[in-house]
Amino acid sequence: PESRDCAMATADNAAGRPNYVCKLTLNLHKRAVSSVKFSADGKWLASSSADMTVRLWNTSNWRCMQTLQGHSQGISDCAFSADSSYLASASDDRTVKLWEVSSGKLLKTMRGHANFVFCVDFNPQGNMLASGSFDESLRVWDVKTGRCLKILPAHSDPVSGVHFNCDGSLIVSGSHDGLCRIWDTATGQCLKTLIDDDNPPVSFVKFSPNGRFVLASLLDGTLRLWNYHKGKCLRTYSGHRNQVYA
């Protein structure tokens, strides 16, 4: 009821919480949506789905302009290049695919992972991709040729998140083994492993924009902020509840 919604909004405002309102629902996918990403230029929203497609939405009118089809199984993640010209998708069919945003054309298919590909990210320069898989490895790919440049035996459980830092010199990976690892992009060397007293499975990792910190989301419902230079957890944010994990 409207009166109940108003009462809840008033209570949220009184508590100092923002009053978020749903403006629009985009509902063309036929199965679960696994990832949504805005392009850097703000003109596109990409949504990947278990229905084996990525949809590209024009943010000026919210129309679906492209439906990217080519994967043979569900898609877990997608990522735009920094210039917003290209999009990469990671799929349960064990491949990473590279697409041209303007035309929706499939440019490359990168094969090599031995299990589901769960996450993908472009470096800031747009010439490399990193992908993480249920095969417990992290792979680095050359965008121009589609060739695998490095295979890093990164973790002892599925790799759930990968992200390049602001200059592309480092990659952070997170895994269901509860660890976050920092990698030198050029050499493939593991520079740091982030370990706390307890290590719940990691679901997502990201460098801060200035590259000084790493934020990890965990399946126990918390977020952890790390100073990765010191290997120290600075803060734990709680509030989410994951009843399945508990």
d(CA 243, CA 186): 40
Q: Which residue has the higher pLDDT, 225 or 246?
A: 225
Structure tokens at 62: 């919210």
The phi, psi pair for 14, rounded to 5°, reads: -65, -35
d(CA 232, CA 228): 6
d(CA 20, CA 234): 29
Residue 12 pLDDT: 52
Q: Which amino acid is at 71?
A: H
| Contacts with 77 (C-beta within 8 Å, 6 or more apart), sequence order | 34, 35, 48, 89, 90, 117, 118, 119, 120
d(CA 74, CA 64): 19
Q: Which amino acid is at 161?
A: G
Task: Give first-to-last CA distance, the chain, whole Å.
Answer: 33
**Averaged confidence pLDDT in the chain:** 92
d(CA 90, CA 190): 23
Global pTM reads 0.89
Q: What is the pLDDT of residues 26-40, one digit of tens each?
A: 999 999 999 999 999
Mean pLDDT across 137-150: 97
The DSSP line for 15-51 is TT-------------SS-EEEEEE-TTSSEEEEEETT
Report the SS3 class of residue 237.
Answer: strand
Q: What is the arrangement of strands in the sheet containing 44-49, beginning at the earlier edge strand?
A: 33-38, 44-49, 53-58, 64-69
| Contacts with 4 (C-beta within 8 Å, 6 or more apart), sequence order | none
Q: How confident is the model at residue 19 (pLDDT cuts 50, 70, 90)?
A: confident
Q: How confident is the model at residue 245 (pLDDT cuts 50, 70, 90)?
A: low
Q: What is the pLDDT of residues 179-228, one digit of tens each?
A: 999 999 999 999 999 988 788 999 999 999 999 999 999 999 999 999 99
